[in-house]
């Protein structure tokens, strides 16, 4: 019986360990990472439950209270943290892991004072050191990532010597703790001193790591967190904790190696950078810029935005380079909207991802995944670098150091020898950055002064929105490729529009989000030239403020007499051949009439469902802000053209132009 129980227990341990490794393995693919995170997290919860089952707590109410408080704090933090704060939060949570580790080690050393064997005592002391080091180092990293501390490396006088003395102090205290028979009071004093000394070492260690090297530091601290957890597992005699901690330590170490390789620097050189004079000044101000060929900024026209928009229309191959500035501006959604529009125009669009872009490994991948990127568009540096020389236009969004040719052409700078994205080899480069200042390395970027570069300075989010509007004001159908399978439904939509005598267009908040008002108005004008009677149906609460749709359509120079209020146009729907809906859901939801007890029951809606044919140009078929499913989407007479509303409108326009 005992043997059977042992076998079952070991089998359960291996099962949980397998789940952890499976979850970590899934992190390799962006589209699987969320599921992998859930699996690994569920495995950790299951592991904690098994430990509590095998070793029932003496004070369950205290444990339950701690779990409740921790959960509430976690929920509170998550509700207030945006994607831009994710790197800082990752560093903070990493530090929390270090805190938990050294507290466990401290308690076990106290409880086993004089009773632990040498291996367990050494493990406990190392757990104190690694946990305290991870905590303090992670807090400094979190502060740098949150812009609470200086992003540039902080070099104290005789910094390396001070660190060496600090390390020696930790070693001496550990030797004293191992080589003497201490009383409990003395033990607490010595262990506390070890924690303080190790914490100070973590602070001094992390201070001189600059913002550009944050991905390496985060990876390294992730590895030390896993090591601290494994050491605690040795003290506790918990094989599962040892295995999981070792797995985290190994994966963090591998990632650290990958990050160093991406920067073409040794781990030693990252953590022990050479002291440079005036390190925050641009390279050319330190006298090392003479090796670069200075060029004058592009002067191809008085309006750089118009110039870039024209280049986009004429380009066939476009590469987008995202950087930390995109994260700061929260511009990832606008970048994806522009990407979808460009692809609808038939452009070959790819994303060039530098491994250390952002402030943590995979930062750009996470941001773009949040915005719903097609993962096939993401290309790693080594894969895409050979293609820049054949690229018509590179759009840099908030990146500096990772596209700085000084890394190749200038010796002795903080980024010398670091592999970069070779955007300077493209036919033209457009930089959508906040300003021309150097990145976190402090090295001036000669790309900004290159004759093939156009600077679009300012907030990246606003710049991309404005650029998208400028590109879309004049639809170039000659540049639009054949319809992909995703847009097959548009052929059917075009057929019903060609056959229709009258059309009603319903604009909604989705049109505003996609900035599609210019395309919608152009579509209406084309239909009018084809002899169709075209009207706009305006719901009074469409959008996010009274008159929202009127303002947007007025911006696109719509004819005001074609705008009809709900009460005036509702009787016309039953005589209408086709109703086209752009980004509207709740205001055309027949559930408001047919279903009782929903949040929109009794709300007046536009009677789009009464028309003979309906074309819905929405991003997806999800419910609107009310959360009420829209039965119109499943109606047999409805054609669902899902995707970005602006891109869909472009396809409709171009296909209709081909019919005239």
Residue with tokens 């001036």: 444
Calpha distance 270→282 (Å, rounded): 20
Question: Known catalytic residue: 401?
Answer: yes
Q: Considering only CA atoms, which of 370, 281, 280 is closest in space to residue 322?
A: 370
Residue with tokens 């190749």: 408
Calpha distance 133→492 (Å, rounded): 64
- Alpha-carbon torsion angle 518, 524, 530, 535, nearest 10: -160
Calpha distance 500→530 (Å, rounded): 10
What's phi and psi for 163, nearest 5 deg? -60, -40
Please enumerate in sequence order all residues whose Cβ is within 8 A of that of 152, keeping only pairs 6 or more positions apart, or say none: 210, 211, 279, 280, 440, 442
Tokens of residue 249, six digits: 């330590």
Sort strands 317-322 and 393-397 into parallel, antiparallel or unpaired: parallel
What's phi and psi for 93, nearest 5 deg? -65, -35
Q: Considering only CA atoms, which of 279, 158, 164 is closest in space to residue 213?
A: 279
Q: In this structure, are residues 142 and 93 in contact, taking their beta carbons and an 8 Å threshold?
A: no
Angle of the 239-263 helix axis to the 2-26 helix axis, nearest 10? 20
Tokens of residue 389, six digits: 């020389």
Q: In this structure, are residues 50 and 15 in contact, taking their beta carbons and an 8 Å threshold?
A: no
Q: Which of 213, 307, 401, 572 is catalytic?
A: 401
Calpha distance 190→199 (Å, rounded): 14
Please give the DSSP secondary-structure letter assigned to residue 600. T
Tokens of residue 474, six digits: 């004049």
Burial of 249 (0-12, 13-18, 19+ CB in 10 A): buried
Number of Cβ within a 10 Å radius of residue 601? 14
Residue with tokens 């229309």: 313
Helix (H) or strand (E) holding 126: helix 118-145
What's phi and psi for 361, nearest 5 deg? -55, 130
Q: Considering only CA atoms, which of 31, 28, 25, 23 is closest in space to residue 372?
A: 31
Calpha distance 273→394 (Å, rounded): 32
Name the β-bridge partners of 453: 429
Asked whether the CA dihedral 441, 442, 443, 445 is positive or negative, the reply is positive
Tokens of residue 420, six digits: 């970069």
Q: In this structure, are residues 526 and 532 in contact, taking their beta carbons and an 8 Å threshold?
A: no
Residue with tokens 């004819």: 559
Calpha distance 394→445 (Å, rounded): 16
Give all strands of the β-sheet with 317-322 in edge-to-edge order. Answer: 378-380, 348-353, 317-322, 393-397, 429-432, 453-455
Q: Considering only CA atoms, which of 460, 443, 399 is closest in space to residue 424?
A: 399
Helix (H) or strand (E) holding 578: strand 578-582
**What is the SS3 assignment for 582-601?**
ECCCHHHCCHHHHCCCCCCC
Q: In this structure, are residues 429 and 452 in contact, taking their beta carbons and an 8 Å threshold?
A: yes
Residues marked active site are found at: 401
């Amino acid at each position: 019986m005992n043997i059977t129980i042992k076998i079952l227990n070991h089998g359960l341990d291996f099962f949980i360990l397998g789940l952890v490794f499976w979850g970590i393995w899934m992190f390799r693919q962006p589209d699987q990472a969320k599921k992998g995170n859930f699996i690994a997290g569920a495995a950790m919860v299951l592991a904690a439950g098994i430990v509590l089952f095998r070793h029932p707590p003496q004070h369950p109410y205290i444990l339950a209270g701690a779990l409740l408080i921790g959960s509430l704090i976690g929920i509170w933090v998550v509700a207030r943290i945006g994607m831009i704060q994710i790197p800082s939060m990752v560093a903070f949570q990493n530090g929390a892991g270090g805190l938990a580790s050294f507290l466990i080690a401290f308690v076990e050393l106290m409880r086993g004072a004089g009773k632990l064997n040498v291996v367990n005592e050494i493990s406990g002391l190392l757990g104190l050191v690694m946990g305290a080091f991870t905590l303090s180092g992670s807090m400094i990293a979190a502060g740098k990532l949150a812009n609470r501390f200086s992003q540039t490396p902080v070099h104290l006088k005789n910094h390396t010597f001070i660190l060496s003395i600090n390390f020696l102090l930790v070693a001496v205290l550990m030797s004293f703790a191992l080589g003497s028979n201490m009383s409990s009071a003395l033990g607490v004093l010595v262990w506390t001193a070890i924690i303080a000394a190790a914490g100070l070492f973590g602070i001094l260690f992390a201070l001189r790591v600059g913002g550009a090297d944050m991905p390496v530091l985060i990876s390294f601290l992730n590895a030390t967190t896993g090591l601290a957890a494994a050491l605690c597992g040795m003290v506790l005699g918990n094989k599962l904790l040892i295995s999981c901690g070792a797995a985290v330590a190994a994966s963090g170490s591998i990632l650290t190696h990958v990050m160093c390789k991406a920067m073409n620097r040794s781990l030693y050189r990252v953590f022990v950078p050479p002291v440079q004079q005036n390190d925050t000044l641009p390279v050319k101000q330190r006298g090392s810029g003479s090796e670069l060929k200075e060029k004058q900024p592009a002067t191809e026209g008085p309006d750089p935005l118009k110039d870039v928009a024209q280049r986009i229309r004429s380009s066939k191959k476009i590469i987008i380079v995202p950087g930390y500035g995109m994260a700061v501006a929260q511009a990832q959604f606008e970048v994806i909207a522009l990407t979808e529009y460009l692809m609808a125009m038939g452009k070959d669009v790819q994303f060039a991802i530098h491994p250390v872009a952002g402030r943590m490994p995979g930062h750009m991948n996470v941001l773009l995944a949040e915005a719903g990127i097609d993962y096939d568009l993401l290309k790693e540096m080594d894969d895409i670098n050979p293609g820049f020389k054949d690229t018509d236009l590179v759009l840099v969004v908030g990146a500096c150091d990772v596209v700085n040719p000084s890394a190749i052409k200038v010796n002795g700078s903080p980024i010398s020898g670091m592999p970069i994205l070779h955007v300077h080899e493209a036919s033209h480069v457009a930089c959508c950055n906040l300003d021309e200042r150097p990145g976190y390395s402090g090295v001036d970027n000669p790309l900004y002064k290159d004759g093939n570069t156009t600077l679009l300075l300012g907030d990246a989010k606003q710049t991309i929105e404005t650029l998208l509007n400028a590109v879309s004001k004049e639809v170039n159908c000659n540049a639009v490729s054949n319809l992909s399978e995703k847009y097959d439904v548009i052929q059917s939509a075009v057929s019903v529009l060609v056959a229709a005598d009258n059309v009603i267009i319903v604009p909604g908040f989705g049109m505003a989000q996609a900035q599609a008002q210019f395309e919608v108005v152009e579509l209406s004008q084309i239909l009018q030239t084809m002899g169709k009677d075209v009207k706009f149906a305006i719901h009074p609460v469409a959008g996010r403020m009274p008159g929202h749709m009127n303002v947007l359509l007025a911006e696109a120079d719509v004819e005001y007499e074609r705008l009809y209020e709900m009460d005036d146009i509702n009787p016309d729907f039953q005589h209408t051949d086709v109703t086209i809906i752009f980004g509207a859901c709740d205001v055309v939801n027949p559930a408001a009439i047919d279903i009782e007890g929903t949040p929109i029951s009794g709300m007046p809606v536009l009677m789009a469902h009464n028309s003979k044919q309906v074309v819905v140009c929405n991003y997806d078929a999800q419910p609107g802000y009310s959360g009420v499913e829209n039965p119109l989407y499943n109606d047999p007479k409805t054609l669902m053209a899902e995707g970005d509303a602006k891109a869909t409108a472009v396809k409709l326009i171009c296909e209709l132009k081909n019919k005239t």
